Amino acid sequence: MAGSFGELLREHRIAAGLSMGQLAKSIHYSKGYLSKIENDLKPPTPTVARLCDGVLGVGGRLIEAAMRGAPALARRQVLVAGTMLGAGALAGSGFRPVPDAQVVAGMRTSFENLRALGLRTSPMVLIEPLKALQHTVHGMARENTGSIGTGLLRLAARLSEYTGWMSQEAGDEQAALWWTRQASELSRAAGDPDIASYSFVREAGIAFYRQDARSTINLAQQAQWIGNAGSRVLALAARREAQGHALAGDRYAAESAFDRAVRLMDFAQPDSPYPALGPSAPDPLELARGWALSDLGLNAEAAVVLDRQLALVPLTSRRTRARFGTRKALAQALSGDVDQSCRTLAATIDDAAHVDSATIRTDLRQLARTLGRWHNHAAVREVYPDLKRLLSHR
């Protein structure tokens, strides 16, 4: 039997008849990264070990081998990882700050303030401040142990996750994946299973916007299988899985996943002292259900659900209003209700302009193509110039 993790991984991969590239694609990591692990040039993370174990179907042997490796060094390895700025954020004079609980709380408040801005403005306003705060928090976590160090590490993980989302909103998928995976590694070092699982939900969201139904479903399911995440994260994972099934045209599977999400959300506990993960909408499950109905071709039903749910979203939540307002306008247009679609779009354009979202622009482009079929319609002629200006802004 193979000795090191890399040798064991190679043995099981070859036995399964998979090339390194095929395995890398199955677990959504690069071939180069997997090669370093298989050749024992890089230690496996718990996430990678679990994914390889599941794909190869070896009943936990790879997970066990990863745990045997060097568990005492795991936290140190993750803390040392990251960008040079993160590693050197507090280097120089040799001063090693020992923050108290109020300092950590203050940094959480800074994060919450940035998240509040994220509801109503462009991601480009937020990305650099988020990176700077993440690097500072991560650097301080390296210099501190015990509960203070763990608290800082958890906050660094959450900052990484949110930075990944804002990177996706800015249209930088590569950065979105990097920050999301950084969040997963930091969360495991900090013992935060929610972020570890939610990172897969975020990756599923990236796949969803690529219209990759299979990857959306697989990643969302992985989020539900790994670790011991709380009910809210599991509900959001089931929600994303449902959207993937709808994208694939499987209404029964989509409805089953949505029902599971509702049951899980009923048991969700407050996420204090950290900001709640995922959407801030009053009912993110029903908004997603409306979106899914549109993907299933049931656009008249989708418009009714989205109209009802958007009425509950606060005016300050511009990003949510722009995202689902656009989907509502698209559903109305696809169902043939052109006048109502144009009215919805007119009420949505200002929010969309403020939040400057790459993912929302994807839907706006589809809406522009759809409304273009009625280019001589009076309501379309009135709103179309504003839509074109918004889309040509980037």
At 172-191, the pLDDT tens digits run: 999 999 999 899 888 888 88
Say which residue, 283 or 92, is predicted with more confidence.
283
344 domain-assigned: yes
- Selected residue with higher pLDDT from 106 and 49: 106
pLDDT at residue 103 is higher than 90? no
C-alpha to C-alpha distance for 291 and 132, rounded to whole angstroms: 35
Q: Read off the CATH number of the domain in which 60 is found.
A: 1.10.260.40
Q: Between residues 163 and 225, which one has the greater pLDDT?
A: 163
Higher pLDDT, 283 or 393: 283
Residue with tokens 């193509």: 369
Question: Using an 8 Å Cβ cutoff, are 183 and 161 in contact?
Answer: yes
The answer to whether residue 123 sits within a structural domain is no
- The tens digit of pLDDT for each residue in 352-374 reads 999 999 999 999 999 999 999 89
Q: How confident is the model at residue 226 (pLDDT cuts 50, 70, 90)?
A: confident
* Cβ-based neighbours of 379, under 8 Å, separated by 6 or more: 338, 339, 342, 343
196 and 184 Cβ atoms separated by less than 8 Å: yes
What interhelical angle do 101-118 and 123-142 show, nearest 10? Answer: 160
Asked if residue 233 is part of any domain, the answer here is no
Q: Which of 103-112, 222-231, 247-256 has the highest mean pLDDT?
A: 247-256
Q: Which residue has the tokens 């043939």?
A: 336
Angstrom distance (rounded) from CA 246 to CA 293 = 7
- Tell me the percentage of the chain whose pLDDT exceeds 70: 88
Q: Which two tokens stand for residue 361?
A: 């622009």
Which of 18, 44, 69 is the last residue before a domain boundary? 69
Q: Is residue 119 part of a domain?
A: no
| pLDDT at residue number 104 | 84
Confidence of residue 274 (pLDDT cuts 50, 70, 90): low
What is the pLDDT, as a whole number, of residue 69? 61
Per-residue pLDDT tens over the stretch 133-172:
999 999 888 888 788 888 899 999 999 999 999 999 999 9
Query: In the structure, how many helices (H) and strands (E) does the chain have?
Result: 21, 0
Ramachandran region of residue 217, left (φ > 0), alpha (ψ -120 to 50) or beta?
Answer: alpha
Q: Please check the confidence at residue 79 and state whether its pLDDT lies above 50.
A: no
Domain-embedded: residue 21: yes
Among candidate residues 31, 50, 69, the one where a domain is terminated: 69
190, part of any domain:
no
Please state the φ and ψ torsions of residue 90, each to the nearest 5 degrees.
Answer: -115, 15
Q: Is a pLDDT exceeding 50 seen at residue 88?
A: no
On whether residue 81 sits in a domain, the answer given is no
Tell me the pLDDT tens digit for each residue of 227-251. Answer: 688 899 999 999 999 999 999 999 9
Domain count, the chain: 2
Look at the alpha carbons of 81, 84, 86, 92 in this order and tell me if their dihedral is positive or negative: positive
pTM attached to this predicted model: 0.74
d(CA 206, CA 200) in angstroms, rounded, equals 10
Query: Percent of the chain at pLDDT above 90?
Result: 63
**Structural domain span for residue 12:** 5-69
User: Is 47 a member of any domain?
Assistant: yes
Which of 44, 69, 94 is the C-terminal boundary of a domain?
Answer: 69
